[in-house]
Amino acid sequence: MTLANLPPLVTVFGGSGFVGRHVVRALAKRGYRIRVAVRRPDLAGFLQPLGNVGQISFVQANLRYRQSIDRAVEGASYVVNCVGILFESGRNSFEAVQEFGGRAVAEAARGAGAKLVHISAIGANANSDSSYARTKGRAEAAIHSVAPDAIIYRPSIVFGPEDGFFNKFAGMARSAPFLPLIGGGKTKLQPVYVMDVAEAVAKAVEGKVAGGKIYELGGPEVLTFRQCLEAVLKSTARTNPLVSLPFGVASLIGSVASMIPLIAPPITSDQVKLLKKDNVVSKEAETEGRTLRDLGIAPTMVSSVIDSYLVQFRPQGQYTNSGKAA
C-alpha cells in the first residue's frame, strides 16, 4: 500500500481515558489509522489489541504544552479531543486542561488542516459559578472562534464499564453505611452510554455530522439522582439506606476532601455546584435536531448495561442471588 492509499490518520487526545478508549475502538473498527496522544504512552499499550498490527500508534502529549500538541497532530486529517478532568490536582487545573488545552488543540488542528471533534459536557457555560462548567463553556467559544466548522459534543453523565459515576457509588455501597442523596437527590440526569458517544464521534469523523454545531448527547431516559442510586442498589443487590445531604454540607465535605493529597476526592465543592442544576438535553437541542437520535443513534438504557459491570460489587459477585439483597 502506497502512502497515498493509506487510510486517513486520526489523532485522539486522551485516547487512553474512559471515553477515549471507546472512541479508539470505534475508529479502529472503521479502518482508520489512529495516533493516541497521551501524557504517558507507556501506560496506553492496552489499546493496541483494539486494532490491527500498526493501526494504532502512540505519541506523548500534554495539553499544557503547545509544542507537544502540534507534534501530535502532524499529518492528521482528523483530531478528536477527549481530554477533561473532574477535579483539579497539582498543575492540572480546569483552566489549563480544559480551557487553554481546548483552544490549543483547535489551533493545532487548524494549522494541520485537520477537522476537529471536541468532547465537552452538558452544562458548559462560560458564566457558570462552577469552574468545571465555566472552563468547558469558554473552551467551546474559543474552539468555534478558531475552527468554526468544529463539531462539539456535550454528553450528560457518561456510563459504561469504567465509568466514574455508577462505579463510584457501587463501591461506596460495598463499604459505607449509607449513600448520600446530595441536595435531596432531586437533580435530573440523562445518563448516556459511552459506546453511543463513541459512535457519535466516529460518525463525525466519517463526515456524517454537520459541522459548526453543538450537539447534546443524552440517554433515552431522564433519571433523578435518587433514581440513579436506587439503580445502583438494585444492580448490586444491596440495601444501604439513602440519606439526604444538603448542598451546603456536601460542599463542606467536598472542600475538606479536596485538601487531602494523593487521593481522588469522593466529591468536590465544584461538583456540588454542578448538581444544583439538571444535567439533561435542552429543549433547544431537541427542536433543532442536535441530539443522539438526530445522528441516527438509538440511545442505550442504563438498566440494559449496568448489571454487566456492577456485578463485581455484589456481595458474592456473579453468584449473588439476584432476588436477594445484602
Give the model confidence (pLDDT) of 215-259 as tens digits.
Answer: 999 999 999 999 999 999 999 999 999 999 999 999 998 888 777
What confidence category does residue 261 fall into, taking pLDDT thresholds of 50, 70 and 90?
low
The reply to whether 249 falls in a domain is no
Q: Is the model's pLDDT at 322 over the cut of 60? A: no
pLDDT, position 56: 97
Residue 192 amino acid letter: V
The reply to whether 180 falls in a domain is no
Average pLDDT across the chain, whole number: 93
pLDDT, position 304: 96
The reply to whether 9 falls in a domain is yes
3-class SS letters over 168-212: HHHHHHHHCCCEEEEHHHCCEECCEEHHHHHHHHHHHHCCCCCCC
pLDDT, position 166: 97
DSSP structure string for 98-156: IIIHHHHHHHHHHHHT-EEEEE--TT--TT-SSHHHHHHHHHHHHHHHH-TT-EEEEES
pLDDT tens digits, one per residue of 32-71 = 999 999 999 999 999 999 999 999 999 999 998 999 999 9
Q: What is the CATH number of the domain that holds 14?
A: 3.40.50.720
Q: In which domain, by residue range, is 25 found?
A: 3-155
> For the whole model, what pTM was predicted?
0.94
pLDDT, position 109: 98
The reply to whether 104 falls in a domain is yes
The reply to whether 160 falls in a domain is no
The reply to whether 27 falls in a domain is yes
pLDDT, position 6: 86
The reply to whether 47 falls in a domain is yes
Nearest-angstrom CA–CA distance, 40 and 19: 17
Cβ neighbours for 65, distance < 8 A, ≥ 6 positions apart: none
Count of domains for the chain:
1
